[in-house]
C-alpha cells in the first residue's frame, strides 16, 4: 500500500541528512515494525507520512499515487497515533471523540457509528463521561488510539504507543493493534521495546543514521543469525571463551555468538572447567535485541 523509495531529508541548516535514501514498503494486513536508536530518523519518517514534512528527495507513494496527491484527495486515509497525548485534557472521553470526529468532517449517522465503534474497540465505554486528564496512563493511550481510528484509516502509524502503561494495558494495546492489521489495515509500529516488535510485527525495518540497515520478515531476521549461548555466572574468564565466538558481557551475563563449527555444549564445558558455578544458561537463535544492538552498536546516542 505504501511504497517509500530513496527518501532523503535534511533539516534546514543541519550538517547531516536525517534520512538518507530510505526505502521500505508497508502492506495491508501486515504490521511493519520500525526500529532505530534515538536520532535514527523514525520521527522524521513518520512526519513525512503525516504530511508535516515535504518530500525533498526520493518518492513516497500510496497505492501508486504520490503522497501529497493522495493526502489531497483523501486526507484521512493515513492516521498517526502520536507519542504524546493528542486530546483535550479538560474534555471527557465522549467529548474528545465528538470533537475529533467533527474536526475530521464526520457527521450524522457516520459520526455516531464511528464514535461507537472506536469507543468499543478501545474498550472505553465505561469511561465515556470521565475527563481525559483523570484517566490512567493506559486509558489515555487507549483514547489516543480511539481518536486515531475515527476516520477508519487504511494505514495507521503508531509512534511508541505503549510508553508509560502497565503490562495489562500494553497487552491490550498490542492485541488491538494486531487486530487492525488482521482486519486489513496496514500498520507501522515504532517502539524501543524489542519484545513488542517481536510480538506483533510481520516485517521489521531497522534504521540508523537515516539509512535502512536491515529489512526483512521477522522470521528471516531472527533465523539468519548465529546461535547464541548466554551464561549467567560470577567470575567467568571471558577471554578464555573467545575461541568459541564473539563474546559480549552484559552485567553478570556473558553472551557467546557461536562461530561456525562451535557447539554450545563446548562453551558450557569450558565455563565449568573454570570452576565457577553456572546460575543460568540459555541457548538459542539471537533475539531481535541482539541483532539490533549488533547492527547499531552499543554507543549511547546523545545527539
Ligand atoms: N527540527 C529539527 N531540526 C534539525 N534537526 C533535527 C530536527 N528534528 C530532528 N533532527 C535531527 O534529525 C535526526 C533524526 O531525528 P529523529 O527525531 O527523526 O530521530 P528518531 O529516530 O525519531 O529519534 P527518537 O527515538 O529519539 O525519537 C537526528 O540527528 C536529529 O537530531
Give the pLDDT band (50/70/90) at residue 287: confident
Grid cell in block for residue 99: 470533537
Atom of ligand 1 nearest to the CA of 16: 29
Residue nearest to atom 17 of ligand 1 (CA): 43
Mean pLDDT for 158-172 is 89
DSSP string across 97-123: HHHHHHHTT--HHHHHHHHHHHHHHTT
Lowest-confidence pick of 159-163, 184-188, 200-204: 159-163
Please report where in the chains the cell 501529497 appears, as a residue: 68
Span 219-264, pLDDT tens digits: 888 887 788 899 998 888 889 999 999 998 888 889 998 998 999 9
State yes or no: pLDDT of 302 exceeds 60. Answer: no
Distance CA 163, CA 192 (A): 9
The mean predicted confidence, pLDDT, of the chain is 92
Give the pLDDT band (50/70/90) at residue 179: very high
State yes or no: pLDDT of 184 exceeds 80. Answer: yes
Distance CA 232, CA 140 (A): 39
Give the domains, in start order, of the chain with CATH numbers: 2-222 (3.40.50.300), 226-285 (3.30.70)
More confident residue, 120 or 194: 120
Span 191-231, pLDDT tens digits: 888 889 999 999 999 999 999 999 999 988 888 778 889 99
Give the pLDDT band (50/70/90) at residue 78: very high
Give the pLDDT band (50/70/90) at residue 2: very high
Q: 277 Cβ partners below 8 Å, 6+ apart?
A: 233
Q: What is the pLDDT of residue 212?
A: 96
Q: What is the pLDDT of residue 279?
A: 93
Distance CA 135, CA 156 (A): 24
Q: What is the pLDDT of residue 226?
A: 81
| Ligand 1 pocket test target in 16, 20, 42 with most atoms within 8 Å of CB | 42
Q: How many Å lie between the centroid of ligand 1 and the Cα of residue 48?
A: 13
Q: What is the pLDDT of residue 165?
A: 87
Distance CA 36, CA 190 (A): 8
Give the pLDDT band (50/70/90) at residue 299: low
**192: DSSP letter:** S
Q: Is 205 touching ligand 1 by the criterion CB < 6 Å?
A: no
Q: 93-103 vs 108-121: helix axis angle to the nearest 10?
A: 130
DSSP string across 197-217: HHHH-SEEEEEETTEEEEEEE
Q: Is 14 touching ligand 1 by the criterion CB < 6 Å?
A: yes
Q: Is 41 touching ligand 1 by the criterion CB < 6 Å?
A: yes
Q: How many Å lie between the centroid of ligand 1 and the Cα of residue 166?
A: 28
Under a CB-based contact definition with an 8 Å cutoff, are residues 274 and 240 in contact? yes
Give the pLDDT band (50/70/90) at residue 300: low
Give buried/exposed letters for 163-178 (b at 16+ CB in 10 A, else e). Answer: eebeeebbebbbebbb
Predicted complex ipTM: 0.97
Q: What is the pLDDT of residue 234?
A: 87
Atom of ligand 1 nearest to the CA of 47: 18
State yes or no: pLDDT of 14 exceeds 60. Answer: yes
Q: What is the pLDDT of residue 84?
A: 86
Please report where in the chains the cell 537463535 appears, as a residue: 285
State yes or no: pLDDT of 112 exceeds 80. Answer: yes
State yes or no: pLDDT of 175 exceeds 80. Answer: yes
Span 88-101, pLDDT tens digits: 999 999 999 999 99
Q: Is 40 touching ligand 1 by the criterion CB < 6 Å?
A: yes
Q: Is 301 touching ligand 1 by the criterion CB < 6 Å?
A: no
Q: Is 109 touching ligand 1 by the criterion CB < 6 Å?
A: no
Distance CA 165, CA 170 (A): 6
Atom of ligand 1 nearest to the CA of 41: 18
Polymer length in residues for the chain? 303
Grid cell in block for residue 6: 530513496
Under a CB-based contact definition with an 8 Å cutoff, are residues 295 and 206 in contact? yes
Strands of 78-81's sheet in order across? 78-81, 155-159, 186-190, 31-35, 203-208, 211-217
More confident residue, 251 or 280: 280
Residue nearest to atom 12 of ligand 1 (CA): 18
Lowest-confidence pick of 66-70, 182-186, 225-229, 285-289: 285-289
| Ligand 1 pocket test target in 11, 35, 207 with most atoms within 8 Å of CB | 11
pTM comes to 0.85
Percent above pLDDT 70 for the chain: 98
Amino acid at each position: 500500500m505504501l511504497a517509500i523509495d530513496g527518501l532523503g531529508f535534511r533539516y534546514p541548516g543541519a550538517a547531516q541528512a536525517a534520512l538518507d535514501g530510505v526505502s521500505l514498503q508497508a502492506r495491508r494486513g501486515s504490521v511493519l515494525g520500525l526500529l532505530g536508536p534515538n536520532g535514527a530518523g523514525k520521527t522524521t519518517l513518520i512526519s513525512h507520512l503525516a504530511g508535516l514534512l515535504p518530500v525533498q528527495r526520493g518518492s513516497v507513494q500510496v497505492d501508486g499515487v504520490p503522497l501529497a496527491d493522495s493526502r489531497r484527495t483523501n486526507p484521512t486515509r493515513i492516521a498517526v497515533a502520536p507519542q504524546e497525548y493528542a486530546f483535550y485534557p479538560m474534555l471527557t472521553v465522549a467529548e474528545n471523540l465528538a470533537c475529533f470526529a467533527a474536526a475530521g468532517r464526520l457527521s450524522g449517522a457516520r459520526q455516531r457509528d464511528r464514535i461507537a465503534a472506536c469507543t468499543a474497540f478501545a474498550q472505553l465505554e465505561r469511561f465515556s463521561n470521565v475527563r481525559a486528564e483523570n484517566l490512567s496512563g493506559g486509558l489515555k493511550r487507549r483514547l489516543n488510539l480511539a481518536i486515531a481510528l475515527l476516520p477508519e484509516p487504511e494505514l495507521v502509524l503508531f509512534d511508541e504507543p505503549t510508553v508509560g502503561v502497565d503490562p495489562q494495558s500494553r497487552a491490550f494495546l498490542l492485541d488491538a493493534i494486531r487486530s487492525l492489521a488482521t482486519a486489513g489495515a496496514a500498520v507501522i509500529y515504532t517502539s524501543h521495546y524489542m519484545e513488542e516488535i517481536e510480538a506483533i510485527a510481520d516485517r521489521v525495518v531497522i534504521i540508523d543514521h537515516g539509512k535502512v540497515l536491515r529489512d526483512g520478515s521477522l522470521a528471516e531476521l531472527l533465523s539468519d543469525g548465529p546461535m547464541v549461548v548466554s551464561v549467567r555466572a560470577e567470575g567467568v574468564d571471558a577471554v578464555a571463551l573467545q575461541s568459541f565466538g564473539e563474546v559480549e558481557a552484559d552485567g553478570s551475563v556473558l553472551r557467546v555468538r557461536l562461530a561456525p563449527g562451535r557447539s554450545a555444549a563446548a562453551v558450557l564445558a569450558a565455563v565449568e572447567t573454570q570452576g565457577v558455578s553456572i546460575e543460568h544458561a540459555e541457548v538459542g537463535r539471537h533475539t531481535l535485541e541482539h541483532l539490533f544492538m549488533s547492527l547499531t552498536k552499543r554507543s549511547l546516542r546523545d545527539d
